[in-house]
Amino acid sequence: MPVRLSTLLSNIDTSIPNPTNANLIREFSTFMKSNGTSESYQKNNLKTIISFAKWLGNERLYI
């Protein structure tokens, strides 16, 4: 079943243990929207970045 963009965005806080990384991902999402990227492009990027942020865990920052 495909994941909706709204579902990805609403689950950022619960799925990413580091609040700084979660905030960076939300900012990146806003940036992509403001540049007029397609929803499919946004979803694919967010899926990848969220997976990476989960792998980093709570101690490391995605900077």
pLDDT digits (tens, 9 = 90+) for 29-57: 999 999 999 999 999 999 999 999 999 88
Q: What is the pTM of this model?
A: 0.84
Q: Is residue 18 part of a domain?
A: yes
Burial class (CB in 10 A: 0-12, 13-18, 19+), 21: buried
Distance CA 54, CA 29 (A): 17
Q: Is residue 62 part of a domain?
A: no
Q: What pLDDT sits at residue 40?
A: 95
Q: Is residue 61 part of a domain?
A: no
Distance CA 49, CA 30 (A): 14
Which domain, by its residues, includes 21? 5-32+39-56
Q: How many domains would you assign to the chain? A: 1
For residue 60, pLDDT beyond 90:
no
